[in-house]
Amino acid sequence: MKKFLRWGIGVIFCLLFLPTAQAALFPDVLPGSWYEEAVEEMTREGLLTGCDDGTFQPMREISGAEFVAITLRCTGQEFVLGEGHWASEALYYGRNAGWFDWDELPFDGSQWEACDRPISRQLAVKILMKALLPGTEYDFNRESQKISDFSSLSGRYYEPVLSAYAAGIARGDETGAFCPERGLTRAEACILFQRALARQERRPGTGEEIPSQTPSPEEPLQTQQGGAAENGWLQMKGVQLCNEAGDPIVLRGMSSHGLRWYGQFTNRQSIQNTAAFGANVFRVAMYTGEGGYLSQQQVMREKAYATVDAAIQNDLYVILDWHILSDGNPMTHVEEAEAFFAEAAARYADTPNVLYEICNEPNGNVSWAEDIKPYAQRLVSAIRAQSPKGVILIGSPTWSQDIHLAAADPVDGENLMYTLHFYAGTHGQDLRNRIDSAWAAGLPVFVSEWGTSRADGSGGVFLEESRVWLDHLEERGISWCNWSLCDKHETSAALKPGTAPDREWTEKDLTASGQFVFSQFKR
């Protein structure tokens, strides 16, 4: 009894393993937070309970003993309260099983301090992988490239950390850093456990098979929705678009048609109508050729700004799209583009809503290495001089389908994403595979334009094919804008001919394409 008191009081606040599976809500687990679901699920499954004062303490760094004890539970074994230390049985078990070495969590039967200190991320990942996903394969070059501070990782942890990256369990912070020596919060630990358990279920022989060669999508992401007021500045974490707080976010919404032709559907009411169906992004397609910006700069600039402002007023993220099409090589008008984006980026430098899409769809005789990459490098410099943080979207040859070229030779800079455009009646699995290869190479992808039609805007409507596409994007947390918000007599148009832009819309105003697409904003 004395022994019990010695370790039981003061040191251990958290009775993690009371044999209860009740889904208690903790007062300090914020409803709707990125970790709420993970904590609740693990609690429900009896893998953990809160602290004995009824809190969960999500932001406290987890100790080695706590981490090992939860790991033991996750392997399906019963947790037995130890003597000398509440987690001693679990610690002995873990060490014997080779989850960690003696010097990593030293204890000799009386000195337990080290086990009660915050565990490092590298050691936590090692224990997790050894216990739950031993033998997970990885490609050294591919995975190590994802980690910006790889040089600070000790060789001892290469295998567990790289395999955890390969399995989508460990991911870097906003700078791509893993921070091997840092601690991790109890909330972060929950997410790691959840990903590992979900991954375990999908292992060969235990359910859905994962082909070993194709990079698997990470676990279905818990993604944020909502607009800029709630989510703030966007940032990249590896390939994933995240909000200011660092939580994955998915943007879904509409692209305008050409401002010059269908500008009536870019007024405040039309954008509000689109947002009312759940969209959180709007794309402003400003054609450069075809009588667009290059022919009437002042008029088109003002129209584009007015549209961006209307989207901001509706709290949407908004993409300013330099819509090259008949002018297939962006280099042809690089100076006009630089001037346009320098001014726009200065105008919106303090506005987290705005993303810059610098070349809609390069096509024709245009090369990634000779034309688009140098163009993008110049535009990134021009925009960054004004807007240090705004996300920049970069196209590729063949109407922004050649992301494999960008993946092999990406542009220098931060917060850059690469656009992939598809039309469900024309493009299928081959193009979807490109997303996965690009991802494996660490290339962030944004589908800034897609349609339910064929690539010329007509044909179909191809809703089944569209659904397959959207599922593919959804599983990967990839954002999209649909072409297009207009009432033109073509399949890809979301509005029936004659729809009024200045009143509210119901489903009856939407075409077959529009009804499907508007129903997908909130998935």
> Alpha-carbon distance 479 to 500, whole Å?
28
Q: Where are the beta strands (DSSP E) in 424-492?
A: 445-451, 480-485
Residues 171-200 that bind ligand DCB (CB under 6 A): none
Q: Which residue is nearest to ligand DCB (CB)?
A: 457
Applying CB under 6 A, does 418 fall inside the site for ligand DCB?
Answer: no
> Alpha-carbon distance 522 to 518, whole Å?
8
Applying CB under 6 A, does 457 fall inside the site for ligand DCB?
Answer: yes
| Both tokens assigned to 490 | 């073509």
Q: Which of 34, 79, 86, 483 binds ligand DCB (CB under 6 A)?
A: 483
Q: From the CB of 287, what's the least distance to ligand DCB, in Å?
A: 7
User: What x-and-dash track marks residues 375-404 binding ligand DCB by CB under 6 A?
Assistant: ------------------------x-----
> Alpha-carbon distance 337 to 496, whole Å?
34
Q: Which of 139, 456, 464, 504 binds ligand DCB (CB under 6 A)?
A: 456
> Alpha-carbon distance 214 to 429, whole Å?
13
Residue 25 DSSP one-character state: P
Q: How many CA atoms does the CB half-sphere of 271 hold within 13 Å? A: 25
Residues 295-354 that bind ligand DCB (CB under 6 A): 325
Residue 218 vs 361, nearer CB to ligand DCB: 361
Omega cis (within 30) before 396:
no
Binding span for ligand DCB by CB under 6 A among 6-14, 223-231, 483-491, 514-522: 483-491
Query: H or E stretch including 67?
Result: helix 64-74
Applying CB under 6 A, does 488 fall inside the site for ligand DCB?
Answer: yes
**Could you tell me how many helices (H) and strands (E) the chain has, helices first?**
20, 10
Residue 112 vs 446, nearer CB to ligand DCB: 446
449 is catalytic: yes
Residue 235 vs 288, nearer CB to ligand DCB: 288
- Chain-centre distance of CA 269, in angstroms? 30
| Both tokens assigned to 496 | 């029936």
Applying CB under 6 A, does 431 fall inside the site for ligand DCB?
Answer: no
> Alpha-carbon distance 100 to 55, whole Å?
29
Give how far Cα 100 sits from Cα of 120, 169, 437, Å.
12, 19, 34
Binding span for ligand DCB by CB under 6 A among 2-10, 12-20, 44-52, 484-492: 484-492
How would you classify the pairing of strands 235-237 and 240-242? Answer: antiparallel
Residue 421 vs 434, nearer CB to ligand DCB: 421
Query: Which of these is catalytic: 449, 465, 474, 490?
Result: 449
Residue 455 vs 512, nearer CB to ligand DCB: 455
Q: From the CB of 325, what's the least distance to ligand DCB, in Å?
A: 5
Q: Which of 49, 307, 314, 360 binds ligand DCB (CB under 6 A)?
A: 360
Query: Which of these is catalytic: 66, 361, 465, 474?
Result: 361
Applying CB under 6 A, does 116 fall inside the site for ligand DCB?
Answer: no
> Alpha-carbon distance 29 to 44, whole Å?
14
> Alpha-carbon distance 54 to 71, whole Å?
22
The set of catalytic residues is 361, 449
Q: Site residues (CB under 6 A) for ligand DCB?
A: 290, 325, 360-361, 399, 421, 423, 426, 449, 451, 455-457, 483, 488, 490, 492
